[in-house]
Structure 1
Amino acid sequence: MSDPMLAEITAAVTVGRTGDADAARARLRDLWDEIGPGGDPFHRCVLAHYQADLFADPAEALVWDVRALDAAATVTDEQVQAHSAGTQVAGFYPSLHLNLADNFRRLGSFPAAEHHIAEARRRQDALGDDAYGALLRQAISEVAEAIAHRSTERRATAPGVG
């Protein structure tokens, strides 16, 4: 990987996915501090998006999901394509809004959850016609159904990360 920061983020996420969420969260917090508030918004978006997934508590995850959405608002397509050719920032938004909707739902904040699931649905046309796109579309439907039923239960699977 030619991007050292992205390689560090990926390495930390891998640690979390193999069972040491505490170590992964700590490493990602250190990297977050290293990137800093004025740092690369692509790195901030990716890091915050993955960091949110390492928290079982929806309130803690929500903090990081909001940070990811805020960072995405400042990322350009050129910055995204420098890391992943052919990818556009618009493709980030369905997953970002899905995660926010799911966290708000789990916290019982259904109006906010409804807003974000509507945004995820509105933006899902930016998803590819591939397995990842299908996974996110399915998760959007599942979270929307849980919101409609006013369920605050944790889903069996994560809403989907990107």
Structure 2
Amino acid sequence: MIEQAIHARAEWAFAHIASLISRASVGYERARVLAERAGNDNQDAPCPTLLADIAELAESFDAGQAHTRDADRVESALLASDWQALGLPTPTALLAQLLASGSYSIDGTLLTWERDLEVTWYTNAYGIDGALCGRPDLAVLQRFLTDTARGIEYGPVPH
């Protein structure tokens, strides 16, 4: 962890020097990314002293730790098939809803089962449509819900 902290602090110093000649933004961003990675890799450690005295680096370290804790929570819930803890329907409930009503919205994505065409469509949060599968089935819907829990978005996204 100390090596990561040194690397982040060195990037910050380079960025600070670059700011004197108006070329700092990339260096500062790289330092924040390195501090966040250090937090990702050391989720239970206190913020290193090399990062703690610069608010942006300390916040990035903390954000990395929070991201890793959240990812661990999601993976634990997925292993236990605890869809409720993830705020998601079970694959069986989603399948029943799609077959009964033809649509269901999950985390900004609308799923639509079009019986006449035998296609299940998605419309992502950015209004982009795509085909998810033919007739909805449990395996495809479980994969979709797993991806959703992990923050994977379907279709083109602007970020």
TM-score above 0.5, yes or no = no
Higher strand share: 2
- Rg larger in structure: 2
Higher helix share: 1
What is the TM-score of this pair, normalised by structure 2? 0.26
The higher-RCO structure (CA 8 Å, 6+ apart) is 1
